[in-house]
Amino acid sequence: MAYSEKLIDHYENPRNIGSLDKSSEDVGTGLVGAPACGDVMKLQIKVGADGLIEDAKFKTFGCGSAIASSSLVTEWVKGKTIDEAETIKNTDIAKHLALPPVKIHCSVLAEDAIKAAIADYRAKTAKKAE
Amino acid sequence: MNVHTQIRRNDQPIYLDYQATTPMDPRVLEAMMPYFTHQFGNPHSRSHSYGWEAEEGVEKARGQVAKLIGADEKEVIFTSGATESNNLAIRGVAEFYKDRKNHIVTTVTEHKCVLDTCRHLEQQGFEVTYLPVQKNGLIDLDALRAAITDKTVVVSVMAVNNEIGVIQPLAEIGKICREKKTFFHTDAAQAAGKIALDVEAMNIDLMSISGHKIYGPKGIGALYVRRKPRVRLVPLIVGGGQERGFRSGTLPTPLCVGLGEAAEIAMNEMEGEAKRLAKLQARMLKGLQDHLPEIFVNGDLEHRIPGNLNISFAYVEGESLMMGIKNLAVSSGSACTSASLEPSYVLRALGVEEEMAHTSLRIGLGRFTTEHEVDTAVEELVRHVKKLREMSPLWEMAQEGIDIKSIEWAAH
């Protein structure tokens, strides 16, 4: 299978690998996928006092397309508000990386991962406000 | 003579996929060449020397194949490959004896061409028993004995598995089949030329062989069909009645000659080559185990051809690993590249958990594999597995002592 240069670049030089402190109040963590399906993504965002995502980290168990998709979205969400980050669509990811049809699910998973991280962050802040 | 010359170009990856196919041995190509040029005759032409010379080449090859498996040359017919041989053996026998018998016994880890043939026969009204395998990939002989009935026409059990390289107990299976008066077919595509095979000692009635798995050409295979006691088959391909009527069509002389030569070389060099490969296999495994925790060999390590390793690298998805090890040509145990995302049915049949099945690679060693290539492969695998584990959320959880099975994953 021929992959795009962008995809290979993200696979070979993944951006923002790592973990943030998941117990921290300004960190939202999304963990999606399942080991049995061959894909698990953990995506974390750290939201600053100004409401902008100041850092994002990921770890992914999955094929090259899954790794590239998650690497790409960590780049995209940085500097965005969580509302803006929420609008990232899997089709944008798939298009940017030129994912082959059998790999579209990787971009869907990456979108789910951002949404899950945002939801986790929102749940934490809502709890704090109570 | 044993040629361990490098046959790949320097810009090609190291070939470690010998169960998928093998390169042709240069000696095989040499033997074939005259039959592409001057000796082009139709081996079935009886009226001139072109035909006679081609026939001589084909019959010599038939003898070479027969010798490899302890058969008589009259019992070997040429086919297009192991897929055709498996189709012909199982369908041919089932259809010929269908008035008296309607049951087939096979195993769940057979090659797709055996399983699909059996599915096809099920649609025709035959009954098929798919024997499970044990954790080590071998069948349980008591289960086999229990599965055979007086309606069983054939038992088809592969000699060596194409994914995990395990060797089934052929002699014991043959003995049971003979006692129970049912035919024994074995798909020996991965076994011929690698392990000693003897159709007499093992009571084998039908055996499939592939050319391109034994350093011969693609597009040629053979089927051994026992004459005493006679095994009858309904042919798949009819016409001129060549190959004892089992397989019509003009024989591809150069391919037959190539298969014959490949069989003879494999037989002459089997012992030394098996020892050499066993050393390389051990070297590869030790190299990996010395540097990587949590790797697991799938299938029995003892009852296994030395040219195969199937390893699960826990917490690293197989396809991403293959993408990293660009300099190595291996295949993934997981069929993740297919849209189904189903991991290997063979590994699943061994009871390998799905998440583990997704982390496996099949590494095939063969005649042209060198120690240096093994060392390079180990180094590259270790480097990439470590890198991908650093990237793996599952590895991180495992390091933190979190049981991955305790998490409720959303299947997608």
Mean pLDDT, rounded, for B165-179:
98
pLDDT at B1 over 70: no
Asked about A106 being catalytic, the answer comes back as yes
ipTM surpassing 0.90: yes
Domain annotation for chain A: domains and CATH numbers: 5-123 (3.90.1010.10)
For residue B410, the model assigns a pLDDT of 76
Mean pLDDT, rounded, for A29-41:
93
For residue B149, the model assigns a pLDDT of 98
pLDDT at B405 over 90: no
Going by pLDDT thresholds of 50, 70 and 90, the confidence category of residue B278 is very high
Asked about A63 being catalytic, the answer comes back as no
Distance CA B76, CA B92 (A): 15
For residue B7, the model assigns a pLDDT of 76
For residue B406, the model assigns a pLDDT of 86
pLDDT above 90 covers what percent of chain B? 91
On chain B, the residues whose CB falls within 8 A of the CB of A99 are none
What SS3 state is found at A4? Answer: coil
The residue type found at B10 is: N
For residue B336, the model assigns a pLDDT of 42
pLDDT at A53 over 70: yes
Mean residue pLDDT of chain B comes to 94
pLDDT digit string, tens, across residues B329-379: 999 754 444 444 578 899 999 999 988 999 999 999 999 999 999 999 999
pLDDT at A1 over 90: no
CA distances from A37 to B311, B353, B358, B380 (A): 18, 11, 8, 26
For residue B151, the model assigns a pLDDT of 98
Mean pLDDT, rounded, for B142-148:
98
For residue A2, the model assigns a pLDDT of 81
pLDDT at B2 over 50: no
User: Does the beta-carbon distance from B410 to A32 stay under 8 Å?
Assistant: yes
Q: Is B190 annotated as a binding residue?
A: yes
Mutant choice from B358, B359, B386, B387 vs A, greatest count of A C-beta within 10 A: B358
Going by pLDDT thresholds of 50, 70 and 90, the confidence category of residue B19 is very high
pLDDT at B275 over 70: yes
* Assigned architecture for domain B26-266: 3-Layer(aba) Sandwich (3.40)
What six digits make up the tokens of B127?
Answer: 């009954």
Mean pLDDT, rounded, for B205-232:
98
Mean residue pLDDT of chain A comes to 95
pLDDT at A121 over 60: yes
Q: CA nearest B121: which of B93, B143, B147?
A: B93
Q: Is B134 annotated as a binding residue?
A: no
For residue B334, the model assigns a pLDDT of 47
pLDDT at A37 over 90: no
Mean pLDDT, rounded, for A77-86:
96
Pairing of strands A27-34, B14-15: unpaired
For residue A127, the model assigns a pLDDT of 85
On chain A, the residues whose CB falls within 8 A of the CB of B394 are 35, 40, 61
Same fold: B14-20+270-402 with B26-266:
no
CA distances from B117 to A110, B162, B347 (A): 41, 17, 21
The class that CATH gives domain B14-20+270-402 is alpha beta
pTM above 0.90, yes or no: yes
Mean pLDDT, rounded, for B218-222:
98
Task: Read off the DSSP letter of residue A30.
Answer: E
pLDDT digit string, tens, across residues B303-325: 999 999 999 999 999 989 999 99
Mutant choice from A11, A63, A99 vs B, greatest count of B C-beta within 10 A: A63
Lowest mean pLDDT among A43-57, B131-145, B237-251, B337-351: B337-351
For chain B, domain boundaries? 14-20+270-402, 26-266
Mean pLDDT, rounded, for B196-218:
98
